[in-house]
Amino acid sequence: MRLYVLRLGHRPARDRRITTHVGLIARALGADGIIISGDRDDNVIKSLEKVVELWGGPFEIQYVEDWYSLIKRFKENGWELIHLTVYGLPIQDVIDSIRSSSKDKLIIVGASKVPRVVYELSDWNVAVSSQPHSECGSLAVFLDRFFQGKELSKEFKGWKLKVIPQTRGKKVVRAES
Ligand code: SAM
């Protein structure tokens, strides 16, 4: 099963930091890649690519202009579309059903207003509490509930830098080239 994140509606002036964080969370918490839509922003793509180069992968980073065709294509190819939204069904009620399907999964998060068609095309509209917060918070909780904590010990490949956990202080090792 593959799991990708689709970040809708990126606006470089407002969302650069948060879209980068959505990408960092997706990578760190077990997704196979992120697809960014909205205004093209090479700064975000480059900074995520740099993280993969230094800290490992695999983790794919793509930009797509036409998100509507993309989600239609994913759906036609048998992917399950899971849209994270405050208006959806509570995650605690649906996560077991979502996990029980072996279909590939596209997790959709918004920035500003998400078009109605996304709610309609999605197989699941999922709320991480019925209170408004953020795409970073909802994605992190969703991935952790979906992978049941196993994502926290994921081993990354091809890293140049790796943190060695310490009780106190910082230890980072560099791969021998
Ligand atoms: N007002 C916008 C709308 O109408 O869709 C949402 C803006 S919110 C800052 C940005 C994104 O955070 C949403 O598109 C959604 O993906 C996510 N989000 C915010 N609160 C959420 C919640 N309680 N559950 C799930 N996702 C949430």
Q: Is 15 in the pocket of ligand 1 (CB under 6 A)?
A: no
Q: Is 19 in the pocket of ligand 1 (CB under 6 A)?
A: no
What would the pLDDT profile of 33-82 be if each residue is shown by its tens digit? Answer: 999 999 999 999 999 999 999 999 999 999 999 999 999 999 999 999 99
Which domains occur in the chain, in start order?
Answer: 3-174 (3.40.1280.10)
pTM, 2 dp: 0.97
What would the pLDDT profile of 118-159 be if each residue is shown by its tens digit? Answer: 999 999 999 999 999 999 999 999 999 999 999 999 999 999
DSSP β-ladder status, 124-127 and 80-90 = parallel
Task: Report the residue among 85, 107, 124, 128 best suited for mutation to probe ligand 1: largest number of ligand atoms under 8 A from its CB.
Answer: 85
pLDDT value, residue 112 = 87
